[in-house]
């Protein structure tokens, strides 16, 4: 009799665990570093093809207006994991250390019975907390034969290409997890971060493809003081060696950046493939002796070719994750999201990098699917931000949302329900003085307009009518025709600064 009772209890526990797992979704967040929205074919046709990332959007939702709160790598990651703006989570720029003792959504999921894992680029200096398993690259990490920090603090070097290895480790963790519990996996790629070193398997891709020059590639920054003070132009600030893979080591006139960081880690086979690809490029560059616009446009084509090769590897590995879910019967009950930590410039305004509140770096690509829980398909056009990820994951997991979260759950939007939603977003960038010399600024974006205040060492305001000027070439601040708009946006900006408790100047 006792045996029957024990068996019955065991079966009941097993059934409840199974039901709980089926009820609560698994979560996989794949995030890349510096992936421009225009470099995903779901959002923009003509630059590259990303069939696997596109698949997530086709089977779920495409967020057309997903924005960051601070367009720089580490701060954006801190915002995502805490659901709070930079000034409250403390990680305002890339030079500070994340306080990992604070509340994060992985910790809350873990407390609610989720297995949590982080693999790849953490980039927050302190060790991750709130994870059952983690292994991360030190700092920015390396593309070739990268090191990984393990939970015991030891480092291991793994032979291969970073994007492949990060995906390998993530799938290996899925293989070994406790299948009676739901899971949350953060798979964070290094690619396509500067200096855009492709997988040697992709060296033959896009060779010779002609990428269209953005119409404002030769922007003169008239009426936009801060834009003219930056140091992130392809023409003047992109390095021939470290960025564009031209061997300048024998050129006495080019003492800076004479090698490509990361290639010293290559094995013989990788180095041989590298030499076959880039030696002819160096030879052609030295032969042609390009100057002026011809040189600037050559740099743009070289940049785009390697950037898109890095994207090809990311997309291929996204496909591996989706295939794994299909093969293991996990696809239906798993939320899969693909995003980037912010946007990126692909020659717009003549730039690479991010930081500015202008659209290309403000917008984050985001596609999401959850077959069991989201029947709606297509586009989401409401303005969402990276503060919204944490409350969304927590609500789907059945976790009560902490009152101090600053974001809103996107669940109603994802399910096609009518809901009161924000009509404006707030942004604040802090890292100046710093690399690329982008001045500190904060601002507000509504459906049609954007108001930006550059402050600290300068005091300049910019206003854009995004309907008439989507590429933000004409600052209309002070234009009498926009007097009423200007007043309304100033009021909106101050209201948002008060709402989000940002009294910094």
Higher pLDDT pick, 5 / 460: 460
Mean pLDDT of 363-381: 95
List the Cα angle 39/42/43 in 5-degree steps: 60
Give kind and range of the element (H or E) at residue 194: none
pLDDT at position 262: 84
pLDDT at position 13: 38
* Mean pLDDT for the chain overall: 94
CA 416 to chain centre: 25
290-304: b (≥16 Cβ within 10 Å) or e = eeeeeebbbbbbbbb
pLDDT at position 6: 41
pLDDT at position 248: 84
Mean pLDDT of 124-129: 96
**d(Cα 257, Cα 239) in Å, to the nearest integer?**
7
Domain 435-499 has CATH 3.30.1120.10: yes
pLDDT score of 343 more than 60: yes
Continuous H helices in 177-291: 225-229, 234-237, 268-288
The verdict on whether omega for the bond into residue 433 sits within 30 degrees of 0, i.e. cis, is yes
**Quick one: pLDDT band at residue 18, thresholds 50, 70, 90?**
very low
**Quick one: pLDDT band at residue 277, thresholds 50, 70, 90?**
very high
pLDDT score of 272 more than 90: yes
pLDDT score of 69 more than 60: yes
Pick from 56, 90, 76, 93: nearest CA to 362:
76
Higher pLDDT pick, 15 / 505: 505
pLDDT score of 249 more than 80: no
pLDDT score of 304 more than 50: yes
pLDDT score of 21 more than 80: no
List the Cα angle 148/153/154 in 5-degree steps: 60
**Quick one: pLDDT band at residue 486, thresholds 50, 70, 90?**
very high
pLDDT at position 336: 98
Rounded alpha-carbon distances, angstroms, from residue 242 to 197, 225, 475: 10, 29, 35
Rounded alpha-carbon distances, angstroms, from residue 264 to 158, 190, 260: 15, 18, 8
Contact (Cβ atoms closer than 8 angstroms) between residue 92 and residue 402: no
Pick from 177, 98, 89, 188: nearest CA to 148:
188
Q: What is the pTM of this model?
A: 0.94
**d(Cα 236, Cα 316) in Å, to the nearest integer?**
33
Tokens representing 95 are 């030079």
pLDDT score of 257 more than 70: no
pLDDT at position 23: 82
- The 3-state DSSP class for residue 440 equals coil
pLDDT at position 252: 61
Contact (Cβ atoms closer than 8 angstroms) between residue 493 and residue 425: no
Mean pLDDT of 381-386: 98
**Quick one: pLDDT band at residue 260, thresholds 50, 70, 90?**
confident
pLDDT score of 199 more than 70: yes
pLDDT at position 254: 55
Mean pLDDT of 49-77: 98
Contact (Cβ atoms closer than 8 angstroms) between residue 246 and residue 282: yes
Mean pLDDT of 184-212: 97
The DSSP bridge partners found for residue 119 are 135, 187
Q: What is the pLDDT of residues 433-456, one digit of tens each?
A: 999 999 999 999 999 999 999 999
Mean pLDDT of 6-24: 46
Question: What number of H helices and E strands is found in the chain?
Answer: 14, 16
Contact (Cβ atoms closer than 8 angstroms) between residue 429 and residue 357: yes
Helix axes 292-327 and 51-58, enclosed angle (nearest 10): 60
Contact (Cβ atoms closer than 8 angstroms) between residue 337 and residue 367: yes
């Amino acid at each position: 009799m006792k045996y029957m009772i024990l068996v019955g209890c065991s079966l009941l526990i097993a059934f409840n665990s199974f039901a709980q797992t089926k009820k609560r979704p698994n979560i996989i967040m794949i995030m890349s570093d510096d992936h421009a929205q225009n470099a995903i074919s779901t959002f923009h046709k003509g630059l590259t093809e990303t069939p696997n990332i596109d698949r997530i959007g086709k089977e779920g939702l495409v967020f057309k207006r997903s924005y960051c709160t601070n367009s720089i790598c580490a701060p954006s990651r801190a915002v995502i994991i805490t659901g709070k703006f930079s000034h409250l989570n403390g990680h305002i720029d890339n030079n500070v250390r994340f306080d990992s003792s604070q509340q994060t959504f992985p910790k809350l999921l873990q407390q609610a019975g989720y297995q949590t894992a982080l693999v790849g680029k953490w980039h927050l200096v302190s060790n991750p907390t709130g994870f059952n398993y983690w292994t991360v690259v030190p700092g920015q990490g390396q593309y070739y034969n990268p090191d990984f920090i393990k939970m015991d603090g030891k480092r291991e070097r793994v032979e291969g290409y970073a994007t492949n290895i990060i995906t390998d480790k993530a799938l290996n963790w899925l293989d070994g997890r406790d299948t009676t519990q739901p899971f949350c996996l953060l798979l964070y790629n290094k690619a396509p971060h500067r200096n855009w070193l492709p997988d040697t398997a992709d060296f033959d891709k896009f060779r010779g493809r002609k990428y269209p020059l953005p119409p404002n590639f030769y922007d003169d920054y008239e009426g936009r003081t801060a834009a003219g003070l930056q140091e992130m132009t392809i023409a003047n600030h992109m390095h021939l060696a470290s960025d564009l893979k031209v061997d300048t080591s024998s050129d006495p006139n080019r003492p800076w950046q004479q090698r490509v960081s990361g290639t010293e880690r290559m094995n013989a086979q990788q180095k041989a493939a590298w030499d076959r690809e880039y030696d002819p490029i160096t030879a052609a560059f030295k032969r042609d002796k390009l100057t002026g616009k011809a040189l600037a446009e050559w740099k743009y084509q070289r940049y785009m070719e390697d950037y898109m090769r890095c994207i090809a590897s990311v997309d291929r590995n996204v496909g591996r994750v989706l295939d794994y879910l299909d093969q293991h019967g996990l696809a239906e009950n798993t939320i899969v999201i693909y995003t980037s930590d912010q946007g990126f410039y692909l020659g717009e305004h003549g730039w690479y990098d991010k930081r500015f509140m202008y659209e290309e770096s403000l917008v984050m690509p985001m596609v999401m699917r959850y077959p069991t829980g989201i029947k709606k398909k297509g586009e989401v056009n409401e303005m969402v931000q990276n503060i919204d990820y944490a409350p969304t994951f927590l609500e789907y997991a059945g976790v009560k949302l902490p009152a101090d979260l600053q974001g809103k759950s996107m669940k109603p939007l994802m399910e096609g329900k009518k809901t009161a939603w924000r009509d404006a977003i707030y942004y604040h960038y802090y890292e100046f003085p710093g690399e690329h010399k982008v001045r500190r600024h904060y601002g507000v974006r509504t459906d049609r307009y954007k108001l930006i205040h550059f402050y600290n060492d300068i005091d300049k305001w910019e206003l854009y009518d995004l309907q008439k000027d989507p590429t933000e070439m004409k600052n209309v601040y002070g234009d009498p025709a926009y007097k009423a708009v200007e007043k309304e946006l100033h009021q909106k900006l101050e209201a948002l600064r008060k709402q989000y408790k940002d009294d910094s100047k």
